[in-house]
Structures are given as C-alpha cells and as structure tokens.
Amino acid sequence: MARPPDTAHGRENDMNQTSYHTLGAAGIRGLIAGVPVVARRLGGTPDLWRVREVSDGNLNNVFIVGGPEGEVCLKQSLPHVRVDPTWKMPLDRTFFEATWLRAVLPLVGGLTTEFLHFDPVLHVLIVESLSSHTVYRTALMRALDWPDVAPRIGTFIAQATFGTSLLAQPFEDIFAARRIFAGNVALTRITLDLVFDQPYRDHPRNNWDETDLTPLVLDIRSSAPTLLAVENLRRRFLSQPQALLHGDLHTGSIMTTPEDTRVIDGEFALYGPIGFDCGMFVGNLVLHYFATPDIAARKATLRDIAAFWASFHERFLALWNRDEAPPPGTLRPLAYGPASHMAQLAFLEEVEADTIGFASAEIIRRLIGYAHTADFDVITDPRQRGACRAGALSFAYHILDHTAQIRTIGDFLLRLDEYGKAGL
C-alpha cells in the first residue's frame, strides 16, 4: 500500500499554523496554475477557468473548476464544521481522504475517483470531476431504478477491504497503514458519538420533528437488549481493524449513472470491521425503502440489498480463493479443503452479522441523531412522513432487540418486508 513517510502528517500540522488559509476563486486558480497535471486537464489559461462552489456536505468546501478542455473537483478542509462554525475541527481530514484514495484506487479500478493532487499546507484535495454523475441518494429520491448500482458497491467494498486486509498483505504493511489511519481521531470520534452514543441518551445534537417518535425513542433508550447490542457494535467498531474502511459509505457518498458508479468522500477512513461499510450502505437503502410508499419501489430496494450482499460475498470469496499460493507474508491457511472453506464462511458470517447490526444503528442515528437524510423530504404529507419514519425506527429497534435471531441478510430482508407491508 502506498503511504507517505511516517513524519509527513506531523509536518503538515506544523505548517498549518502559519500557512493555511481558505481559498476563493482567485486562490483556486492560482493553486491549480502551479500544478501542471491539473492545469493541463483544464486547458487554456487561468482567466478562462470557471470556479463553481458545490458544497453540500457538513464538513468541507467543494468546488468544480472547469476549463476549455475539462473539469476537476477541488475539496478544502475548513477549521470547523462547514454547517456549524462553532464546532471546531482539525484540518487533516483531506490528508486522510487523499491517503485512503491512493490506497484503494489500485484495488477498485473505476469504482472511485481518480486522484490528481493533494496540497498538505492548504489541505486541498483535487480529483476528477463527476459532474455528469448523479448522487445516488438523489437518483433514488427521483425514483430512478438503476439495479446495477448496489452490486457495484458490493464489489467495491469487497475489493477495497480484501486488498487492505491481512488476507492480502503482510501484517508489517498492514500495521504501518493502521498507524497512519489511527491518527484520524477527530472523525472517528464523530462516528463514535453520532452513531453509537448520542442517539441513546439526551443530547442537544439529537433531533426529530415528529412528537409521535418520542415514545419509541424512549423505549429504545430503555431496552437492555438494544443497548447491549449497540455497546457490542461500538466495541467491534473500535477493536476489529479488519481492513481499511471508507467510514461513511451512505447513498450520498456515491456518484453514479446507470453505467458507471464511483464512491467518493473517504475522509472518515479508518481500519475497522468490514461489516461497518456494508452496514452503512444497507442502512441507507433501508431508509430509502421506508421513505418510498410505492410497492414496486420497495420491492426494488429489497432486490438491491440482496444483490449488494450477493455481490460482496461472491467477490470477497473469489479474491480469497484467487491464488493457490497466497502472497508471501500474508495469513496462509492452516487447513485446506473443506476445513478452509468452513473458516471462510465463518468469517463472512461474522461480517454478515456485523452488517445487520451496523445497518440498524445507522438507521436510528439518521432518524433521531444529528445528521438526518433527505430521503423522507419527498413525502409532502407530514402525517405520512412521520409514519414512514416511525416504521423505519421501529424496524431498526426490532433488529437490534433480536440480534441473536437475525443473523443473515435473508432473515433481515424477510423482517424488512414484513414491516414494510404492515406500514402500507
């Protein structure tokens, strides 16, 4: 795995104290003019380059820069959360995104964006522009049925996680990479707080519009099985560094067309349990399911979740069994034949159970925590919107309350279908 020198991150932090400043249009043109590979991509001279802000996430400034020959996307970290200047943040998140992108790009091919440049002083990351693509969440909200997207995400996660795990690289290389991503403390803290802690207690960042959800929220917070399940998920999130994760793989972190799908925004990257990335994606598909009262659209979402898991499972096993002789230094099997196959299936069953749990935690936090999704905004009737949100929250509560009984994606989808039909 390509990685910067061990001291690079520290030097960047030192330089930030005096050299960092936020960029406007003129500063962006000046920066790109000094990066020949990017300037050539745009073509022409800086005075011809168009700078358009497209920031829509919570954390960073994002711009599309276009010239006579092409476009690029530029992201700059801010010293605070973009939507809340009182919430201070370190600047290093683009460093981790750039490092994540360089690590996974050789593994996933055209399923993420092309890396072009990283400026460690201004904390600017420049990648290819995907302005011809649509945010996957937006496509879903527009009722666009693109069945190939979900299996592509299954392939992406399989290739990115297998390739950055002990199954594919010597532990010395994996440990070196872990040391780098262990520095992504601020964003890991955000995940820990917003997903595994604050929704389950009174906290000023929690919010929900429908008062009808309040009794259900109180039930969740008083359910011992649910709280124990969340505590177990929290421990696994922090103590199972199985592979390099995207760390925030929701439907808003995917740009797609019917023919081409790219995963973006890897700034939350960390080493963790593979099922976390799987669960974030599945959880957001479930949120879309409940935000879509149309029966045909719900069936399509059930299809997509099943196709995602089948693609992930098949691709991960194929990579695991690709080489008769594993690369030197990796964890070679101690048993062969049926015993080895059983060990593989046991590992993937563990990932499957994690996926179900993390998906449920993601659903809950997106409904009553700090950062909601826009999926339910398409429902104009407040009563119907509240009922759909309550259905999603009840489903996630049920899953966490019965984690011992719901261990497969098949079981998960059966329960989802039951809850969906009951709510129509």
Q: Do domains 8-128 and 134-423 have the same CATH topology?
A: no
Distance CA 215, CA 223 (A): 12
Superfamily covering domain 134-423 = Aminoglycoside phosphotransferase (APH), C-terminal lobe (3.90.1200.10)
Write out the DSSP string of 159-224.
Answer: HHHHHTSTTTS-HHHHHHHHHHHTT-HHHHHHHHHHHHTGGGS--TT---S-GGGHHHHHHHHH-H
Is residue 2 classed exposed, middle or buried when 0-12, 13-18 and 19+ CB atoms within 10 A define those classes?
exposed
Q: Beta strand pairing status for 134-135 and 115-119?
A: unpaired
Other Cβ atoms less than 10 A from the Cβ of 82: the count is 17
Distance CA 64, CA 74 (A): 6
* 186, amino acid identity: A
pLDDT in tens, 50-96: 999 998 767 789 999 999 999 999 999 998 887 788 888 889 999 99
Helix (H, G, I), strand (E, B) or coil at 364: helix
pLDDT tier, 15 (very low <50, low <70, confident <90, very high otherwise): very low
Superfamily covering domain 8-128 = Phosphorylase Kinase; domain 1 (3.30.200.20)
Give percent of the chain above pLDDT 70: 95
Contacts of 181 (CB under 8 A, 6+ apart): 96, 99, 100, 244, 269, 270, 271
Kindly tell me if the per-residue pLDDT of 5 is higher than 70. no
Kindly tell me if the per-residue pLDDT of 363 is higher than 60. yes
pLDDT in tens, 191-239: 999 999 999 999 999 999 877 899 999 999 999 999 999 999 999 999 9
* Continuous segment of H or E residues that includes residue 257: none
pTM, two decimal places? 0.93
Give percent of the chain above pLDDT 90: 83
Of 314, 312, 332, the C-alpha closest to 324 is: 332
pLDDT of residue 424: 62
pLDDT of residue 18: 58
pLDDT in tens, 165-187: 999 999 999 999 999 999 999 99
CB 173 within 8 A of CB 243: no
Write out the DSSP string of 273-338.
Answer: -HHHHHHHHHHHHHHHHHT---HHHHHHHHHHHHHHHHHHHHHHHHHHTS-SSPPTTS---SS-TH
DSSP class of 112: B
The terminus-to-terminus CA distance of the chain in angstroms comes to: 49
CB 417 within 8 A of CB 302: yes
Mean pLDDT confidence for 348-369: 98
Each domain of the chain, given as residue ranges in start order, spans 8-128, 134-423
Of 40, 28, 27, 31, the C-alpha closest to 67 is: 40
Structure tokens at 282: 């599945």
Distance CA 144, CA 140 (A): 6
pLDDT in tens, 108-146: 989 999 999 999 999 999 999 999 999 999 999 999 999
The mean pLDDT of the chain is 92
Other Cβ atoms less than 10 A from the Cβ of 402: the count is 15
Q: Point out which residues pair with 256 in neighbouring strands.
A: 134, 261
Lowest-confidence segment of 87-96, 173-182, 302-311, 347-356 by average pLDDT: 87-96
